């Protein structure tokens, strides 16, 4: 059966200039048309939105709402349908009675453990904590303080120390600003850094690539016009394949004092590999010795998927603005929950204090309406004001129900002393990786630095290793790097993203391991292998005047899920040689963490389904 490819190379070249997240719309259209034509199910592995959720902290949220409404009616029950604001005195005692009366309700156990953790471990006042929870879940007040509520800040701070700092608290604590997800955090940081002279239009900045595409696109906007220096994750292993780590020669570029800022996603997106301990140590040494004024902005959303993760905000707290989003780990992209972390001992306040007098005067005028001493306004508080154009500072802050759910997610992780939920999440990813490699007919490699939320496969490097340099040259000369994506979409209804759009290798593809059920990944792996066989057949046809023979194929061992493939569909090809195992093993850099022990009815409630 001939390979369908209705998108011309010229059109592919045009679409390739778009962000991968815009290019995918064209791929989805082709995949959808093929799905209708062949009566198969489209498999969209281009999205990073997880298809699992943390259930227990949500159960706690809704049960807490029931308690808060009872408190509201207790405060004021004069008219039907109208309640008052929960009263603080004695609320912890009433909360205890409520939990005892509702002890069999979903979420009650976490609410009880949360009170114990907040009072015994964090030293919070019981009435203050419970009142903050009850008053916030019903959302009857503006956020006060606007940056983040006091109890919630201490809870989330403890969570960040556990998950982002490998349990090692910094010498000085972080000030946290609760925001509407990592997206808002980055927008606020870029703007406030520019407004306050920490960054200037045209500054030289370093970006660790590959990286989430918006971080490549924002610096090019006219407002910023940054001079971008890309640090490439160009390290390879003994077989010549990517490890997605950075050689010292790249990291040493940060020693240049003209480099004002470093942007990174750690673990990376799309390779999904955290900075090695050696790389972290090298960056710290370079910054401390050669460029102590370097501003670092790190997005650590995938850090919870790696055991022992330690962010640069832990290693270089003075220099680093930390961004964390709860979206991926807890399956809550719709909640829009994130935080910006600024250490109380930081270079940003020092940079503002050292600004020229004219710039200080301008900033004093900007912030003079919200404080009588604007020159003493800390950078973190300027972030809050800037997020609401200063004039609306009095209504700034993340909504209180959002902050409540954020705190419950954090408390869920903090009270999970055996990290059972983490092992479940890692187990979901591991099962899917196993399925993907099974479809590719390769063994399961191991990488302790891998988060594996995404897999980035460099097809051209693999093709050269598998079939030789001439074949790789043929592919590069005769096809656009995104051609394979269009083939997979139009012939197999599979949607992947182009790794080149993240400034990774041009012929790499990103497979999200987060959003499809396990059987789908075996099918994706099989069709990826088949696509390379198709290219090889086309190459062979150019080497002989005789008609090219298709490489032998055999049916995939697993049926397509959930829909049954049409009878006319091509079956995934059998791998051509044993060399594929070594090559793809190095290219993928995958691993399986220890699987979680399934829960029983006698154990604590937690996400029950680990099938992914």
Residue 418 pLDDT greater than 50, yes or no: yes
What's the pLDDT band for 450 if we cut at 50, 70, 90?
very high
User: Beta strands 259-265 and 174-179: pairing type?
Assistant: unpaired
Q: Where are the domains of the chain?
A: 9-38+420-588, 56-137, 165-408
Note the pLDDT of residue 196.
98
Q: How many C-beta atoms surround the C-beta of residue 256 within 10 A? A: 15
What's the average model confidence in pLDDT over 162-184?
96
- The span from the CA of 82 to the CA of 140, in Å, is 12
Residue 573 pLDDT greater than 80, yes or no: no
Question: Number of helices and strands (H, E) in the chain?
Answer: 23, 12
**Chain mean pLDDT for the chain:** 88
Note the pLDDT of residue 463.
86
Note the pLDDT of residue 2.
63
Note the pLDDT of residue 565.
39
What's the average model confidence in pLDDT over 134-162?
97
Higher pLDDT, 288 or 460: 288
- The span from the CA of 449 to the CA of 456, in Å, is 14
What's the pLDDT band for 308 if we cut at 50, 70, 90?
very high
Note the pLDDT of residue 596.
42
Give CA separation, 293 vs 286, 289, 340, 347, in Å.
Answer: 11, 10, 20, 7
Strands (E), 316-417: 320-325, 338-343
Residue 541 pLDDT greater than 70, yes or no: yes
Residue 552 pLDDT greater than 60, yes or no: no
| SS3 state of residue 535 | helix
pTM of the model: 0.87
What's the pLDDT band for 558 if we cut at 50, 70, 90?
very low
Residue 211 pLDDT greater than 70, yes or no: yes
- What is the CATH T-level fold of the domain 9-38+420-588, as seen in this structure? 3.90.1150
User: What letter does residue 343 receive in the DSSP assignment?
Assistant: E
- The span from the CA of 183 to the CA of 326, in Å, is 12
The CATH classification number of 165-408 equals 3.40.640.10
Cα–Cα–Cα angle for 423, 426, 432, rounded to 5 degrees: 140
Quick one: tokens of 247? Answer: 């050689």
Note the pLDDT of residue 41.
82
Give residue-wise pLDDT tens across range 459-477: 888 888 889 999 999 999 9
Closest to 130 measured CA to CA, from 161, 152, 104: 152
Note the pLDDT of residue 22.
87
- The span from the CA of 557 to the CA of 572, in Å, is 9
| SS3 state of residue 33 | helix
Asked if the 56-137 domain carries CATH number 1.10.1660.10, the reply is no
- H-helix or E-strand spanning residue 227: strand 227-232
Q: How many C-beta atoms surround the C-beta of residue 195 within 10 A? A: 18
Measure CA of the first residue to CA of the last residue in the chain; give whole Å.
32
| SS3 state of residue 555 | coil
Note the pLDDT of residue 405.
98
Higher pLDDT, 30 or 483: 483
- The span from the CA of 432 to the CA of 300, in Å, is 22
Residue 600 pLDDT greater than 50, yes or no: no
Distance of CA 296 to the CA centre of its chain: 18
Note the pLDDT of residue 19.
85
- The span from the CA of 478 to the CA of 485, in Å, is 15
The per-residue DSSP string of 114-135 comes to: HHHIIIIIS---HHHHHHHHHH
User: How long, in residues, is the chain?
Assistant: 612
The region of weakest confidence among 27-31, 92-96, 116-120, 427-431 is: 27-31
Give CA separation, 25 vs 13, 15, 20, 486, in Å.
Answer: 15, 10, 9, 11
What's the average model confidence in pLDDT over 12-17?
86
């Amino acid at each position: 059966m001939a390979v369908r490819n209705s998108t011309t190379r010229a059109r592919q070249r045009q679409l390739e200039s778009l962000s991968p997240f815009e290019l995918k719309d064209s791929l989805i259209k082709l995949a959808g048309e093929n799905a209708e034509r062949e009566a198969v199910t489209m498999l969209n592995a281009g999205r990073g939105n997880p298809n699992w959720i943390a259930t227990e902290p949500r159960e706690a949220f809704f049960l807490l709402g029931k308690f808060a409404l009872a408190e509201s009616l207790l405060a004021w029950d004069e008219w039907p349908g109208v309640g008052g604001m929960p009263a603080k005195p004695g609320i912890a005692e009433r909360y205890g009675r409520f939990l005892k009366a509702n002890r069999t309700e979903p979420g009650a156990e976490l609410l009880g453990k949360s009170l114990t953790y907040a009072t015994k471990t964090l030293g919070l006042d019981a009435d203050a904590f419970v009142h903050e929870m009850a008053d916030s879940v019903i959302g009857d007040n503006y956020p006060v303080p606007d940056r983040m509520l006091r109890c919630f800040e201490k809870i989330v701070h403890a969570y960040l120390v556990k998950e982002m700092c490998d349990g090692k608290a910094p010498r000085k604590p972080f000030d946290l600003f609760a925001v509407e997800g990592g997206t808002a955090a980055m927008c606020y940081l870029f703007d406030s850094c520019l407004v306050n002279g920490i960054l200037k239009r045209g500054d030289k900045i370093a970006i660790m690539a590959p990286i989430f595409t918006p971080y490549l696109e924002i610096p090019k906007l006219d407002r910023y016009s940054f001079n971008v220096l890309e640090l490439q994750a160009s390290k390879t292993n003994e077989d010549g394949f990517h490890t997605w780590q950075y050689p010292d020669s790249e990291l040493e570029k940060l020693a240049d004092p003209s480099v004002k800022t470093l942007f990174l996603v750690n673990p990376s997106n799309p390779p999904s590999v955290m900075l090695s301990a050696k790389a972290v140590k090298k960056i710290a040494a370079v910054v401390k010795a050669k460029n102590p004024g370097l501003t670092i902005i790190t997005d650590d959303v995938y850090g919870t998927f790696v055991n022992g993760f330690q962010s640069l905000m832990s290693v270089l707290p003075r220099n680093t603005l930390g961004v964390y989003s709860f979206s991926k780990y807890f399956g809550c992209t719709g909640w829009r929950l994130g935080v910006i972390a600024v250490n109380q001992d930081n270079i940003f306040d020092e940079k503002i204090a050292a600004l020229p007098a004219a710039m200080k005067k301008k900033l004093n005028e900007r912030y003079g309406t919200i404080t009588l001493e604007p020159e003493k306004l800390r950078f973190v508080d300027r972030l809050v004001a800037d997020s609401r154009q200063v004039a609306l500072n009095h209504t700034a802050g993340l909504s209180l129900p959002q902050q409540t759910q954020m705190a419950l997610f954090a408390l869920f992780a903090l009270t999970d002393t055996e990290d059972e939920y983490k092992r479940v999440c890692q187990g979901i990813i591991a099962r899917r990786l196993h399925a993907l490699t099974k479809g590719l007919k390769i063994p399961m490699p191991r990488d302790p630095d891998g988060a594996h939320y995404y897999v980035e496969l460099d097809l051209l490097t693999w093709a050269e290793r598998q079939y030789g340099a001439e074949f790789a040259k043929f592919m590069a000369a005769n096809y656009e790097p995104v051609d394979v994506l269009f083939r997979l979409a139009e012939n197999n209804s599979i949607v992947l993203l182009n790794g080149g759009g993240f400034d990774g290798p041009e012929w790499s593809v990103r497979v999200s391991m987060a959003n499809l059920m396990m059987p789908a990944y075996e099918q994706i792996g099989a069709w990826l292998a088949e696509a390379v066989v198709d290219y090889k057949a086309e190459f062979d046809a150019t080497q002989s005047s005789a008609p090219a023979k298709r490489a032998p194929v055999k049916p995939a061992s697993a049926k397509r899920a959930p829909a049954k493939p049409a009878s006319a569909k091509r079956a995934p090809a059998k791998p051509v040689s044993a060399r594929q195992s070594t090559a793809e093993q190095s290219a993928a850099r995958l691993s399986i963490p220890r699987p979680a022990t399934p829960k029983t009815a006698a154990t604590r409630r937690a996400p029950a389904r680990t099938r992914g």
